[in-house]
Amino acid sequence: MGRHAHDITHKYFSKLEDISNGTHRDIHDTFSSFVKMTACALSAGQREKEYLEEASKWDKNHLIMFSEALSLLIREMETDPFTDIMGKYYAVVESKIVKQSKGEFYTPNELCSMMANIVLNDTYDGAPIYLNEPTCGAGQMILSSAQNIVDQGQSPYILRVHATDIDDIATQVCYINTTLWGIPCIVHHGDSLKCDVIKSYPNIHWIAVEMSKGYKVSSHEVE
């Protein structure tokens, strides 16, 4: 399975490299556009304007290639549940200088699993579990927590996650990961040290949970 998963990961990222090479655009810009458009596409129509703005930067052939890259990514994710596939690529495309200034280093999956197992060592009764991730990155710590809960026979839907990151692309990757793995999460782009939120993105599972309580998601959370 490992080798198969690696091959598909390579294909997904190769597709983005093909777009980058074909348009002479930086791989970082290509990756960022892919992440933004994917996040918008998973928002169930909440982020249509943002999607169209990003899509207008590419021609039709490249948009088709982006959708092919998403298909490859999802196939890869299915072979390796609750594992962040995208964050490790962001660590590759982000420049060394930017990474060092923001403390953006890829946290190995094994380390996240170990920490999730230490923190979440209870037996769950199905009651909601609230998590706050102030430096979420791509969200591997959240995915490892969900894996821990699933291993104990519960659904990731019992999680209620507030995730924050100072880097907007990281927040979008976290949004994609939590949406695709069915984890109710509101992702904030902001500075956790200053308690400063620039923009919040509730994923569809978060909205479903809040709506079931009669809560109306305010416009500043989706615009």
Ligand X SMILES: C[S@@+](CC[C@H](N)C(=O)[O-])C[C@H]1O[C@@H](n2cnc3c(N)ncnc32)[C@H](O)[C@@H]1O
Q: Binding residues for ligand X, per CB under 6 A?
A: 102-105, 107, 112, 134-138, 140-141, 164-167, 170, 191-193
- In the complex, minimum distance from the CB of residue 166 to ligand X, in angstroms, rounded to a whole number: 4
Report the SS3 class of residue 130.
strand
Nearer to ligand X (CB atom), residue 80 or residue 191: 191
- Among residues 215, 152, 204, 207, the alpha carbon closest in space to that of 182 is found at 204
CA distance 105 to 180: 23
- In the complex, minimum distance from the CB of residue 9 to ligand X, in angstroms, rounded to a whole number: 17
Nearer to ligand X (CB atom), residue 107 or residue 148: 107
Nearer to ligand X (CB atom), residue 108 or residue 126: 108
CA distance 89 to 109: 14
Residue with tokens 């129509």: 45
Which tokens hold the place of 15? 């597709």
Nearer to ligand X (CB atom), residue 98 or residue 211: 98
- In the complex, minimum distance from the CB of residue 202 to ligand X, in angstroms, rounded to a whole number: 18
Q: Are 216 and 199 in contact (CB under 8 A)?
A: no
- In the complex, minimum distance from the CB of residue 130 to ligand X, in angstroms, rounded to a whole number: 17
